[in-house]
Amino acid sequence: MRKLSLAFSSVLMATAALLAPAQSYKVTGSIAIGGTGGWDYLTADAQNRRLYVSHGNEVVVIDPDSQKIVGHITGLNRIHGIAIASDLGLGFISDGGSNEVVAFQLEDLSVKQKIKAGTNPDGIVYDSASKRVFAFNGRSGDATAIDGATGNVAGTVKLGGKPEFPVSDGQGSVYANIEDKSEIVRIDSKALTVSSRWSVAPCESPSGLAIDGENRRLFSVCDNKMMAIVDADTGKVIATPAIGEGPDAAAFDPGTKLAFSSNGESGTLTVIKESGKDQYSEAGTVQTAQGARTMALDEKTHKIYLATASFGPPAPSTSGNARRRPTILPGTFKLLVVSEQ
């Protein structure tokens, strides 16, 4: 009986460990930025302890440890994303209004050069394997590849659709969601060719994308409230756990092995965990704020930053602007800070 009890206890303990909830998260603070205008991507540079926030026509630079604004990169025109190349001491900004990629020095935030890209460069990523920056051009449906060190354009990759967020595996492959085709493309970063094209069905209109480089998994968030988890080598859709309404960004934390979706319409952050071999499920939902659709994850502290603001009534519709988006109230732009508990 004693041996049976011990064995039974061991089974119970093992089962409890498997069923134990993932580390919980909650909003623990906010960082006021203010000003006017909209926003897009955020990028956390865990190594150099900087947080880069696109805001209207500038990048706001924040020290995530002190939560203080430490600089601005100005003179831009409707910016979208920021990519960091620490090995080159450079950062790169996609300026959709000017159809340019802007290179800046990480040390002092000074602009080094402006490089012509395609039409409306949006998502941007640095690929360490090729030492190239890839700017994904939303309106021209292609990607501009730039030599990170020199700023010379290495080539253009036709994508066959509207690209959204890209990621690099650091081994020679760059991936991007193709929103209007519900696909992921894999680009050979040295040959500058599309080496694979994969459907993410039943996922529709994918936007944010994240990668688990160690386990070769892609996390794509989609308009129909699901995350497509995809094998980064075969393109097989492995799982489609539920997420919130209006997702825009995805993140993966290699330290906690958790994936995240920021959902602007529902004002939530969905936490996804691996619950078994190639089985993924929701580990929790954090209430954030309406409009908190983009985010950055600090891999050192495991904190998540989401951009949002307070909103007024929608702007009047016009013949050229049928979509009536809520107006952003001046001075209310901020970052929410989500931390482990």
Where along the chain do the CATH 2.130.10.10 domains lie? 39-199
- pLDDT confidence of residue 318: 62
Using CB atoms within 10 A of its CB, is residue 340 exposed (0-12), middle (13-18) or buried (19+)? middle
Q: Which residues contact 261 (CB under 8 A, 6 or more apart)?
A: 208, 221, 227, 243, 244, 247, 249, 250, 269, 270, 272
SS3 at position 11: helix
pLDDT at residue 323 greater than cutoff 60 = no
Q: What is the mean pLDDT of residues 316-333?
A: 75
pTM: 0.90
pLDDT at residue 3 greater than cutoff 90 = no
- Could you say which architecture CATH assigns to the domain 39-199? 7 Propeller (2.130)
Range with the poorest average pLDDT among 8-17, 76-85, 276-285: 8-17
Q: Which residues pair with 258 in a beta bridge?
A: 253
pLDDT at residue 298 greater than cutoff 50 = yes
Do the beta carbons of residue 155 and residue 240 sit within 8 Å?
no
- 177-232 pLDDT, tens digit each: 999 999 999 999 999 999 999 999 999 999 999 999 999 999 999 999 999 999 99
Selection from 266, 336, 257, 262 nearest residue 303 by Cα: 336
pLDDT at residue 4 greater than cutoff 60 = no
Selection from 197, 202, 192 nearest residue 222 by Cα: 202
